[in-house]
Amino acid sequence: MEETDVQNMELLQKRISEIGIIPVIKIKDAAGAVPLAQALAHGGLPAAEITFRTACAEEAIRRITAELPDMLVGAGTVLTVEQASRAKDAGASFIVSPGLNPEVVSWCLEAGVPVLPGVCTPSDIEKALSLGLKTVKFFPAEASGGVAMLKAMSAPYGDVRFMPTGGINEKNLLAYLSFPKVVACGGSFMVSEKLVDSGDYDAVTALTEKAVSLMLGCRLAHIGVNSAGREEAAAAADFLCRAFGFGRTEGPVSVFASDLEIMHGAGRGKNGHIAVGVNSVERAMFSLGRRGVRFDASTLRLGKDGKPDFVYLEDELLGFAIHLVRND
């Protein structure tokens, strides 16, 4: 694989990882492609994998990429080099196939198009590695054994990353996304054939919003308040713990009384801070950033796994700074 191909795959992996869920779409009428893509973007998923299971797939890709240049659009169920070529010419940013066809993979690499071939066995993974790929599609995910199978199968291949597709839904989404080797999941549960055929775009947006909310897992982690100093913080914690039976936890810069953090002095924020727990700081930053939320990059902190686990928003709310923290 050429250096440019590696860079293209790395960029694709970063984008799909930020988005988290790639809607897999079977569309029968290209006229509905743009409003469907808009419904997904409005719901929080600016991405679509248009499958070559219908005659209008190529035209659907062409229309979306022309009208919505910020949308990440790929072609799915690509079985031949001819389909891959048509998808590229239509504007597809990546190619996805149900299995690993060496001819299709080789053509994509030569054409500079990122490709995610389907794998479901160790032999498939080794074929992908022999072609220079390190990111693949795990398909059909649930029918092949689900998360347990993926964990067992991927164990010997430390650098390989997966996009599980097939049977992904609201009940098992988080189980897949919580596995570190999963970059994103492909799913159709927010773009069912019935909704797409009927043009019920409001329902698509609502289901997409629900999926994004589930993926992010935003919750109030704790509230921090500033104090005049260590003595005042300790006295306040003592009172709360005696009066209400709260548990007390000492830290280097603060003391916790249950979920209330009392700073040993003036922390960030005029009055204190609000901590919001999220399943993925990376995905939360991407999603909130699309809504106009700004982050202080100087406060970004990485965890032991090299992924972001902490960052402050630029703006305060009612005198409180706000930061994201990765859920345990």
Mean pLDDT by 10 residues, the chain (328 residues): 78 95 98 98 98 98 98 98 98 98 97 97 98 97 98 96 98 98 98 97 98 98 98 98 97 97 96 98 98 98 96 98 96
Distance CA 193, CA 25 (A): 8
Task: Output the domain CATH number for residue 111.
Answer: 3.20.20.70
206 plus 284 within the same structural domain: no
212 plus 297 within the same structural domain: no
Output the pTM of the full model. 0.95
307 plus 192 within the same structural domain: no
User: Which residue pairs from 169-178 have beta carbons closer than 8 angstroms and sit at least 24 positions apart in sequence?
Assistant: 170/210, 170/211, 170/214, 172/142, 172/146, 172/147, 173/21, 173/211, 173/214, 173/215, 174/214, 174/215, 174/217, 174/279, 175/146, 175/147, 176/141, 176/147, 176/150, 177/20, 177/215, 177/279, 177/280, 178/279
- The residue from 18, 26, 49, 88 that is catalytic is 49
Catalytic residue list contains 49: yes
226 plus 212 within the same structural domain: no
29 plus 173 within the same structural domain: yes
191 plus 240 within the same structural domain: no
How many domains, in total, are found in the chain? 2
Residue ending a domain, choose from 197, 216, 235: 216
27 plus 174 within the same structural domain: yes
Q: What is the pLDDT of residue 1?
A: 63
177 plus 46 within the same structural domain: yes
Residue 79, both tokens: 């079985």
Residue ending a domain, choose from 180, 197, 216: 216
Instruction: Compute φ and ψ for 244, nearest 5 degrees.
Output: -120, 0
Residue ending a domain, choose from 162, 192, 216: 216
Residue 234's H or E segment, with its range, is helix 230-244
93 plus 209 within the same structural domain: yes
Token look-up 């389907």 returns: 118
Domain with 224 in it: 219-326
Catalytic residue list contains 171: no
Note if the bond before 140 is cis, omega within 30 degrees: yes
47 plus 172 within the same structural domain: yes
- The residue from 18, 58, 88, 137 that is catalytic is 137
Q: What is the pLDDT of residue 117?
A: 98
157 plus 228 within the same structural domain: no
Task: Output the domain CATH number for residue 320.
Answer: 3.10.180.10
149 plus 285 within the same structural domain: no
Residue 90 three-state SS = helix
